[in-house]
């Protein structure tokens, strides 16, 4: 009984990990692959390594929260398998409908449902988690908006990713010791920019590991069905498996979204999102990479789109820019338009790309997703109270 149940649990873990691997590899490496800087297989291999690193180090803090802090009693194996099934179901629904629902939220929702049904929910922990869920999108948006509005054009002027023909580096075997030098058409700038893209991808992969490894296995670790170390390895393998297989597709869908924005912007987004995700994972808050990523994208786009109007007007929703002509046009030769200055006619419509209504609609999915998983899990554990409680 216990063995077959464990088998079921591991299978569910692998399913969850596999899907996480698909989507997070897409987010972490989509831009680099899209820009032709790295091959998909290489991306998946590097992904697996850094996911492991993230899961093994920072991920343990999240594991502790999910496995032991949300509910006051350990999650039994039976309940763990059911929780994993709900997480898997959430991912399945998200995949089928193509709606991005953060896995961490589904996980917390499912575990909290179990806690509610059995009267073991630790409200203090859940309150702390939910507060961070509210703060995170705001932080992501704010960082994105500030960069998009004040720094992006300048950065864009300075930073350019170039790829030349031929290999990036060449190995010279002439001397006694083989030396590595730049490839035939490689410029210094190319090496630096490729390195930046690569390093940021690794960082993103690390944060994905830290935040997502526990999602796949925490319910099994809680009551000791799996040792934490074994569980982390298991989750890494499952995520890596997803990275090597379905990520080929998600790099075009999920990663494609990131490729819709310029590479520089994608790098800013990734750096911000990975930092937020790693920091929160470090303090044990389960958070999804998707959440920080999307909000930074929205912030960046919004910040850039509202450049033609002043911040006060943007916040108030006044987009009438007729008045701003003239006053600030003192330097006709500057390429970058100053804040509040009028850009070309059509650019004025750009503000409408991020109307609050559309963004609110988007965010509502982040409320519906975890609520649904909470409700389903709560109902399930009410009807089937498991032995041992």
Partner 1 sequence: MVTRVLVPMDDSAMAERALRYALEVHPDAEITVLHVVGEPSAMMGRAAGLALADDLEEAAEEAAGEVLTRAREIAAEYDVEITTRKAVGHPARVILDRAGDYDAVVMGTHGGSLRDRLLVGNVAQRVFSRSPVPVTVVR
Q: How far is the CB of 247 from partner 1 (least distance, A)?
A: 16
- Half-sphere exposure (Cβ direction) of 98: Cα atoms closer than 13 Å: 5
Options 260, 315, 325, 385; binder of partner 1; rule CB under 8 A: 260
To partner 1, the closest distance from the beta carbon of 317 in angstroms equals 13
| Closer residue to partner 1, CB minimum distance, 69 or 257 | 257
CB-based contact 80:223 (threshold 8 Å):
yes
User: How far apart, in whole angstroms, are the C-alpha atoms of residue 386 and residue 77?
Assistant: 10
Beta bridge partners of 180: 171
Map residues 353-382 to x or -, x wherever contact with partner 1 holds by CB under 8 A: xxx-xxx-xx--x-----------------
* Least spacing, CB of residue 353 vs partner 1, in Å: 4
- In the bound state with partner 1, the residue whose beta carbon lies nearer, of 55 and 144, is 144
- What is the footprint of partner 1 within residues 101-160 (CB under 8 A)? 148, 152, 156
* Interface region with partner 1, contact rule CB under 8 A, candidates 94-102, 172-180, 222-230, 372-380: 94-102
DSSP 8-class letter at 181 = E
The least distance separating partner 1 from the CB of residue 107, rounded to whole angstroms, comes to 20
Q: Which residues contact 164 (CB under 8 A, 6 or more apart)?
A: 183, 184, 185, 186, 187, 190
- Does the protein bind partner 1 through residue 347 (CB under 8 A)? yes
- Binding of partner 1 by 191 (CB under 8 A): no
- Element at 169 (helix H, strand E): strand 169-172
Task: Output the six-digit token pair for 332.
Answer: 């006709």
Least distance from partner 1 to the Cβ atom of residue 322, Å:
17
Which of the stretches 35-43, 72-80, 98-106, 225-233 binds partner 1 when contact is defined by CB under 8 A?
98-106
Nearer to partner 1, 362 or 386 (CB): 362
> What are the two backbone dihedrals, phi and then psi, of residue 75, each rounded to the nearest 5 degrees?
-80, 120
Which residue, 152 or 378, has its beta carbon nearer to partner 1?
A: 152
- The stretch among 33-41, 75-83, 92-100, 110-118 that binds partner 1 (CB under 8 A) is 92-100
Which token pair is 299?
A: 């912030």
- What backbone phi and psi angles, to 5 degrees, belong to 172? -100, 120
Site for partner 1 in 317-346 (CB under 8 A): 344, 346
Q: For partner 1, which is the closer residue by CB, 11 or 368?
A: 368
Choices 12-20, 169-177, 255-263, 277-285; region in contact with partner 1 by CB under 8 A: 255-263
| Nearest alpha carbon to residue 336 among 144, 158, 161, 145 | 158
CA dihedral (352, 293, 19, 130) positive or negative: negative
Asked if residue 352 binds partner 1 (CB under 8 A), the reply is yes
| Sole window of 59-67, 114-122, 226-234, 352-360 interacting with partner 1 (rule: CB under 8 A) | 352-360
Work out how close the CB of 369 gets to partner 1 at its nearest, in angstroms, rounded to a whole number.
11
Torsion sign, CA atoms 266, 206, 289, 281: negative
Tell me the two tokens of residue 304. Answer: 């850039």
Site for partner 1 in 280-299 (CB under 8 A): 290, 293-294, 297-298
Which residue, 188 or 357, is less far from partner 1 as judged by CB? 357
- List 54, 68, 80, 100, residue binding partner 1 (CB under 8 A): 100
Q: Could you tell me the maximum CA-CA distance found in the chain, to the nearest angstrom? A: 79
Distance CA(37)–CA(52), nearest Å, equals 23
Distances (CA, A) of 194 to 32, 167, 372: 9, 12, 42
Could you tell me the end-to-end alpha-carbon distance of the chain, in angstroms, rounded to an integer? 18
Single out the residue of 168, 237, 350, 386 in contact with partner 1 (rule: CB under 8 A): 350
Q: Would you state the structure tokens that stand for residue 98, as one six-digit string? A: 């193509």
The residue among 27 and 234 lying less far from partner 1, judged by its C-beta, is 27
Q: How many residues appear in the chain?
A: 389
| Of 301, 314, 369, 381, the one binding partner 1 by CB under 8 A | 301
Q: Which residues contact 273 (CB under 8 A, 6 or more apart)?
A: 140, 204, 207, 289, 292, 293, 296
How far is CA 349 from each of CA 73, 272, 344, rounded to the nearest angstrom?
Answer: 54, 27, 10
- Applying CB under 8 A, which residues contact partner 1? 97-100, 148, 152, 156, 253-254, 256-262, 265, 290, 293-294, 297-298, 300-302, 304-305, 344, 346-347, 349-350, 352-355, 357-359, 361-362, 365
């Amino acid at each position: 009984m216990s063995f077959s149940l464990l088998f079921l649990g591991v299978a569910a873990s692998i399913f969850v990990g596999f899907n996480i691997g698909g989507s997070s590899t897409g987010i972490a490496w989509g831009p680099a692959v899209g820009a032709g800087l790295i091959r998909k297989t290489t991306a998946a291999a590097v992904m697996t390594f850094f996911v492991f690193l993230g899961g093994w180090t920072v991920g343990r803090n999240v594991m502790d929260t999910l496995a032991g802090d949300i509910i006051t009693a350990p999650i039994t194996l039976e309940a763990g398998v059911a929780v994993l099934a709900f997480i898997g179901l959430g991912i399945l629904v998200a995949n089928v409908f193509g709606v991005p629902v953060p896995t961490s939220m589904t996980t917390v929702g499912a575990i909290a449902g179990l806690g509610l049904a059995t009267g073991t929910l630790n409200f203090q922990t859940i309150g702390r988690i939910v507060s961070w869920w509210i703060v995170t999108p705001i932080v992501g948006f704010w960082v994105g908006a500030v960069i998009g509005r004040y720094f992006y054009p300048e950065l864009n002027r300075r930073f350019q990713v170039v790829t030349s023909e031929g290999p990036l580096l060449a190995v010279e075997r002439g001397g006694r010791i083989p030396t590595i030098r730049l490839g035939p058409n490689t410029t210094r700038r190319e090496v630096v920019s490729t390195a930046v893209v690569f390093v940021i991808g690794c960082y993103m992969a690390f944060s994905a590991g830290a935040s997502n490894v526990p999602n796949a296995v925490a319910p099994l670790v809680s009551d000791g069905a799996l040792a934490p170390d074994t569980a982390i390895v298991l989750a890494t393998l499952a995520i890596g498996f997803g990275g090597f297989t379905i990520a080929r597709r998600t790099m075009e869908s999920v990663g494609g979204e990131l490729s819709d924005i310029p590479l520089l912007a994608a790098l800013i987004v990734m750096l911000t999102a990975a930092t937020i995700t790693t920091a929160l994972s470090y303090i044990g808050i389960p958070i999804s990479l998707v959440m920080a990523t999307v909000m930074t994208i929205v912030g960046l786009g919004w910040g850039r789109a509202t450049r033609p109007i002043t911040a006060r007007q943007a916040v108030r929703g006044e987009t009438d820019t007729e008045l701003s002509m003239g006053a600030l046009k003192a330097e006709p030769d500057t390429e970058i338009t100053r804040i509040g200055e009028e850009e070309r006619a059509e650019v004025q419509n750009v503000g409408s790309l991020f109307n609050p209504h559309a963004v609110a609609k988007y965010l509502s999915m982040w409320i519906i997703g975890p609520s649904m998983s909470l409700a389903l899990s709560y109902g399930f554990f009410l009807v089937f109270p498991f032995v041992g409680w």
